[in-house]
Amino acid sequence: MAKKTGKKDISSASRPLDDKTYILGAGEVVDQEIVDTIENNFMPYAMSVIMSRAIPEIDGFKPSHRKILYMMYKMNLLEGQRAKSAKIVGQVMQLNPHGDQAIYDTMVRLSKGYEALLYPYVDSKGNFGKAYSRDMMWAASRYTEAKLEKICKELFKDIAKDTVDMVDNFDNTMKEPALLPVTFPSVLINANTGIAAGMASSICSFNLEEVCKTTIELLKSKNHDVTETLLAPDFAGGGLLVYDRSVMEEIYRTGRGGFKVRAKYSFDKANSCIEITEIPPTTSIEAIIDKVIEKVKTGSLKEISDIRDETDLGGLKITIDVKRGTDPDKLMRKLYAVTPLQDTFSCNFNILVNSITKVMGVKEILLEWIDFRTECVRRRTLFDLNRAKDRLHLLRGLEKILLDIDKAIKIIRNTDEESEVVPNLMIGFGIDKIQAEYVAEIKLRHLNKEYILKRLQDIEKLEEAIKDLNETLENPKKIKQIISFELKEVIKNYAKPRKTEIIYTADIEEDEEEVEEIPDYPVTLFFTKEGYFKKITPQSLRMSNVHKLKEGDEILLTIESTNSKDLLFFTNKCQVYKSSANAFADTKASTFGDYVAAKLEMEPDETAVYMAVTDNYSGYMMFFFENGKAAKVELSAYETKTKRKKLIKAFSDKSPVAAFMQLPEDKDVVVSSTAGRILLFNTSVIMPKTTKDTIGVSVMNLKKGQKLFSARDYVEGEFAKPYRYKSKNLPAAGALLSNEDTGEQLTL
């Protein structure tokens, strides 16, 4: 609950002279439950984001998409010529008051030129940027033109026949559709992502023909296995989808999960280069190039001599020049493992259905769409039925006039006032007001038997149509047949071959085992106080073991190891950078070595202060802080399944670190303070933590102005009486060095 502050008294003297401007309750501070604050202030905003912005509905569109497409439809951009994008944006602002730039950005994503959608809805002309490029921006709206693609006919088909609800826009000046009466499951046809308050949605795209055929089978039987007809997702950018049946079945069943998509490439033997022409939908050209360059700099991709973006009007192309003798397939397997050339598309099929968000599997989504489309067809049929009944009613009145046209003319001619014409016709022929109005409006040229007989022939057709429409409304199977027929027409008119090729995990599993081939051989690792690192082979070290160091620098760590070990570099900014010994070149003692901060691209003013070496992440890291505390963290806390090279909050920043220590197992350590006191204890008394930035536990009692300044391994026999420096409980003050341990002799 919020802090109680009481009420602030507002006397009448403090009120403005003009009582009309006084706001009741202004200036009062009142107690309010935090739950009420969230409910009254945050929840309306969260619901608005979920319902009206970020989560797509069963027709496959977010409100912003729907408003743009509907306004373009109203502007006759389905059949007419293209219009300036600026003009379209201006018109859409009648429905969407969120600003012209937001509207234009949304329209760009729907366009054919942007290449984000498998089946784009906007036919664009001009520079609309590219989905696969981070830096290739689209031109301003005043320079580009657009209209609706032909497939949009299926979005607005029969929208004028009450197929969907029409609602007021934000200022109640015009109507807009709450949903679009789409004739195919567009919700699965184009990729759609959105982040709302407390929830998100990520829907991958599928091939139109596969989705429609699956829907047709579900119309026949709800027990249809969707995996038989819906092979796998399909993306506008193509690529290779790594198909794992169990993973895909889980996504189809639950609507959650992830699958891998990798780039498509070819090898130009003449120019010794790899040409990448299709990439995963979750990355960009620039991200791929940046990552490859980073790996080349660290020495893990030594086969590459150059990489460049050669994208042009012909489409996407990344060219990688490789060194002579390089196996391109083997190199690509390595690139798939360490760069975004293979990436994971995460699925979260979260959709709004009847104003309720639901995470659904593919079958459930299609069944919900069938229910939605069934209601659209039912409403359309009812609309046509009512129109046919109204028309039949009028013709029934005309049929009675046929019996005596002369009488009708005589009634009209002998009526003194125009307002009496309709009542007189009603009396003369026994028809109702609507029929009489229709008869009275017939042109003089149509008062002949031929015209009236032709109209009467329509009665039989209308009666047959009404009978058929009634049967449709009463028979759900007929509605399903109509939906199925429309889906077949969509396939016939708009189907395209798959763009994303399917490859199976069984075919690539053997290849992926060969990705990381790190040569393993003995090396000695050196780390200096100034943050320099050297990796020297035994042969080189035997030839010369005199180290070249910068002035004032000294070697902190000397570790005999192998080339395949992982390295953890802890920095002065409480971060750790992960690398491997293989990432550093072999060097000699006569060189300064590699400056770790530059090699691992650390932040400005950041430098490495300690190095840990491991291959299985067993054991612990000990951190001794100047405030007298020590933290024991399991080394496995720094192990990651991904290829991340930097981990933040690697240790606590509440107090400066006095000493780092890597422990394969518990041991005795000696801790010293600036007061000259020594404390000896075994690290087993400190419980290990998995939280990296734990503040630790107190091990040494310090007086004001004192600090813990060092920690080191205990050497057996270095103290004459070790028990003198031990304590039963921690924290302890420790003891001053005895005369025996300092080497002093007593004198008289």
Please, are residues 278 and 239 in contact by the beta-carbon 8 Å criterion? Answer: yes
The whole-angstrom separation of Cα 499 and Cα 501 is 6
Residues designated catalytic: 143
Going by their DSSP bridges, the two strands 264-268 and 273-278 should be labelled as antiparallel
Q: Give me the helices (H) in 339-361, please.
A: none
The whole-angstrom separation of Cα 95 and Cα 70 is 10
**Taking Cα atoms as reference points, which of 490, 453, 524 lies closest to residue 369?**
490
Please, are residues 299 and 583 in contact by the beta-carbon 8 Å criterion? Answer: yes
Please, are residues 682 and 691 in contact by the beta-carbon 8 Å criterion? Answer: no
Q: Give me the helices (H) in 84-242, please.
A: 85-92, 100-109, 153-156, 186-189, 208-220
Please, are residues 247 and 259 in contact by the beta-carbon 8 Å criterion? Answer: yes
Sign, CA dihedral 438-440-446-451, equals positive
Question: What are the φ and ψ backbone dihedral angles of 454, each rounded to 5 degrees?
Answer: -65, -40
Helix, strand, or coil (residue 745): coil
- What are the distances in angstroms from CA 190 to CA 26, 109, 110, 202, 621? 51, 11, 10, 11, 49
Task: Give 104's strand partners.
Answer: none
Q: Give me the helices (H) in 414-448, please.
A: 421-429, 433-440
**Taking Cα atoms as reference points, which of 59, 328, 378, 55 lies closest to residue 192?**
55
Please, are residues 119 and 184 in contact by the beta-carbon 8 Å criterion? Answer: no
Question: Per the structure block, which two tokens stand in for 280?
Answer: 């995963």
Question: Per the structure block, which two tokens stand in for 586?
Answer: 């072999």
The whole-angstrom separation of Cα 338 and Cα 322 is 17
**Residue in this structure with the two tokens 């259905």, named with its chain if needed:** 353
The whole-angstrom separation of Cα 484 and Cα 492 is 12
DSSP state of 50: I
Question: Per the structure block, which two tokens stand in for 87?
Answer: 């003009």
The Cβ of residue 414 has, within 10 Å, a number of other Cβ atoms equal to 8
Question: Per the structure block, which two tokens stand in for 369?
Answer: 């769409």
Please, are residues 310 and 329 in contact by the beta-carbon 8 Å criterion? Answer: no
The whole-angstrom separation of Cα 199 and Cα 351 is 11
- What number of CA atoms fall less than 13 Å from residue 608's CA on the CB side? 28
The whole-angstrom separation of Cα 389 and Cα 387 is 5
Element (H, E) at 303: none
The whole-angstrom separation of Cα 222 and Cα 363 is 9
The whole-angstrom separation of Cα 263 and Cα 275 is 10
Q: Give me the helices (H) in 553-630, please.
A: 596-599
Terminal-residue alpha carbon distance, the chain: 73
The whole-angstrom separation of Cα 180 and Cα 57 is 10
What residue type is assigned to position 163 of the chain?
T
Please, are residues 502 and 241 in contact by the beta-carbon 8 Å criterion? Answer: yes
